[in-house]
Chain A
Amino acid sequence: MDDILQRIATCIERGKVNATSPYPPDLKGQDGAHELTKAALEMGVSPSEVLAQGLVVGMNSIGRKFSENKVFVPDLLMASKAMQAAMVHLKPFFESGEAKHRGTFIIGTVQGDLHDIGKNLVSMVMEGGGWEVIDLGVDVSTEKFLDALKSHPGSAVGLSALLTTTMVNMEKTVAAVRTQHPDTKIIVGGAPLTAEYAKKIGADAYAPDPQGALDYLVGAVA
């Protein structure tokens, strides 16, 4: 059992989606995350174990390497694609309640900002880390964040901004969330952001990269 979970983790980390995928070249022709996840479940490995010891291990590893500049965006995107191929098999178990996420993470770029690459990378790493991700997209108003929190009580929130001209909108959203949902964990990130700015506007944490967001939340809910 450990062997197949290790192989799933490797496929996630290396971005090996399925048997027909030519990437990475040294795994060409071998089973990928799609086949191995299906096989693990058929062997009787629990969905929670597949998630925790396969997907999460693989995504944590690639996320950490990304933080250390040992891998780059193409590697992270391929890992995410492999993870999504595995998730197809786990989804029914999440829907039935047999498998559980670590928590729910609501994410969006703040009002006025249409840049989504950074947000998408964070979403991928959070999902791979075992979190249910509610992606509100770009240019998200404070009201939309509040509505999502109403629908998903107890969720953590991530706010992203690329532009100096839009990061000021974060403060409004953070203040509104703090007022209506005071226990909500709020993480902010994006090019113009700093830890000092995050503190100033009342966010709980500044994440310099996707793994930073995941590490903070894992620590915060432990």
Chain B
Amino acid sequence: MSAAIPNIESKSLMTGVERIGNILKRKPVDRIGLYEHFWGDTQKKWTAAGHLRPGESLEDHFNFDLQLFWPFNMTARLDYVPEIIDENEETVLTRDGNGAVLRRHKLHDATPEHVDFLVRDRATWEEHAKPHLSPDRARIDFEGYRNARRQAREGNRFFAWSGTNVFEMMHPVCGHEYMLMGMAVDPEWVCDMVDTYSRLAVSLMEILFAEEGYPDGLWFYEDMGFKGRPFFSLDMYRAIIQPGHRSTIDFARSHGLPVIMHSCGYVEPLLPGMLEAGIDCLQVIEVKAGMDLLALYRDYGERLSLMGGIDVRVLYSNDRQRIDAELRQKIPVVKGRFGYVLHSDHSIPDQVEYDSYRFFVERGMELGRY
């Protein structure tokens, strides 16, 4: 059994809540922040190897500064029992409550493939999805939120409500291709989806936070890019997506909550628009898609905090010299304005050995002290 990492907290002066709170405002802290995402298989492998206790939280083990909880179910038809259409040894094909047909892997972690959709245009959106998207209490996991918030408090971690924003809420209903074509052919339709989903998200947050208390911040997952380019132009972002971002972020602002926005892919061209919408921090800065942490720090570091941007391909080389070089190249620069949280540029797959990840954390924290 590997011991949790004690040296981080024992030498630290601030709690995770204080540290991340300051980092998001780019105010002085004792060290850079620490957080990470993992593939489920990674935790299983590290647990099987005896590095983690069964059920031990990664937040506790690595002394992360943040804890997230995703309490909302945005599926259009909550009462719909997913129907199995086809199944073989490796995959299962189901239709879900969004009217989408999904193929999932049974043997390992993977994002499901969207095979077909009932919603393909404005008419099918109005028939199959929109009427169901009401702020029903059944969409909210009150108990899970309550427990996660309490655990974060006990661990002195910054607690963020997490969930998708409008772009990531739309594509499970109609798929990327219909949505992106809709942005060109019928932008009013996509604007209506953006408006519907952003209103729903705000309504649900109002209900949840009034009953269970506020989080320390909001974390939106919003994958708007892929390799080398965003899915759409900055003009399209401003015209179609940004109104949804503005309304959800304005809600956060009105309650003093900072906003972290995650996006995979190359989204640098969209950053001016995302800053106009009011984000405080960009995560995850995917190097293999073309994102450059040092360039972002140079160009936006005065106005924007950053989380991620450490090439995960270096981590799964399991070569300590390479990991050290990657950290030494970036951390001393990006810690400059107090606005950086250490995180890989995506998530940790099971090719990364426990000892390599642990070295990454310990070396990163060492370089990230002030």
Binding site for B on A (CB under 8 A): 15, 21-24, 66, 69, 71-75, 77-78, 81, 112-118, 120, 138-139, 163-166, 190-192, 208-209
Contact = CB atoms under 8 A, between A and B. Distances in A.
B112 A74 contact: no
B111 interface: yes
B13 interface: no
A4 B112 CA distance: 44
B288 interface: yes
Contacts of A192: 288, 313
Given A117-B176, A118-B226, A191-B226, 15 more contacts: A22-B185, A23-B184, A69-B228, A71-B233, A73-B232, A74-B184, A77-B181, A114-B110, A114-B112, A115-B113, A116-B113, A139-B113, A164-B313, A165-B349, A165-B351
Contacts of A73: 176, 180, 229, 231-232
B31 to A, nearest CB: 29
B232 A74 contact: yes
A85 to B, nearest CB: 13
B183 interface: yes
B103 interface: yes
Given A113-B110, A114-B103, A114-B112, A74 B181 contact: yes
Contacts of A78: 181, 184-185
Nearest to A116: B113
A191 B227 contact: yes
Contacts of A112: 105, 108, 110
Nearest to B346: A164
Nearest to A113: B110
Contacts of A118: 226-227
Contacts of B108: 112, 165
B236 interface: yes
A74 B185 CA distance: 9
A165 B180 contact: no
Interface string B311-345: 01100100000000000000000000000000000
Contact of A208 (B180, B227, B230, B269): B227
B228 A209 contact: yes
Contacts of B232: 72-74
Given A23-B185, A164-B313, A138 B113 contact: yes
B296 to A, nearest CB: 17
The 3 A-B pairs of least Cβ separation, nearest first, read A114-B113, A74-B184, A23-B185
B110 A72 contact: no
B323 to A, nearest CB: 16
B234 to A, nearest CB: 10
Interface of B: 39, 90-91, 103, 105, 108-113, 176-177, 180-181, 183-186, 226-233, 236, 265, 269, 286, 288-289, 312-313, 316, 346, 349-351
B263 to A, nearest CB: 13
Contacts of A138: 103, 113
Contacts of A113: 110
Contacts of B236: 72, 74
Contacts of B39: 165
Contacts of A164: 288, 312-313, 316, 346, 349, 351
Given A116-B113, A138-B113, A192-B313, A81 B181 contact: yes
Nearest to A111: B90
Contacts of A15: 184
A163 B110 contact: yes
Given A139-B91, A164-B316, A74 B180 contact: yes
A221 to B, nearest CB: 26
Contact of B185 (A21, A116, A208, A209): A21
Contacts of A21: 185
B46 to A, nearest CB: 16
Contacts of B269: 69
Nearest to A194: B288
Given A72-B232, A78-B184, A120-B177, A190 B113 contact: no
A22 to B, nearest CB: 7
Nearest to B186: A22
B105 A72 contact: no
30 contacts: A21-B185, A22-B185, A23-B185, A24-B184, A69-B228, A69-B269, A71-B233, A72-B231, A72-B232, A72-B233, A73-B231, A74-B181, A74-B232, A74-B236, A112-B108, A114-B113, A117-B176, A139-B105, A139-B113, A164-B288, A164-B312, A164-B346, A164-B351, A165-B108, A165-B109, A165-B351, A191-B227, A191-B289, A208-B228, A209-B228
A166 B230 CA distance: 23
A66 B233 CA distance: 11
Given A112-B105, A117-B176, A191-B288, A72 B113 contact: no
A114 B269 CA distance: 27
A190 B39 CA distance: 20
B226 A117 contact: yes
Given A77-B177, A78-B181, A190 B231 contact: no
B334 to A, nearest CB: 23
A115 B177 contact: no
Contacts of B316: 164
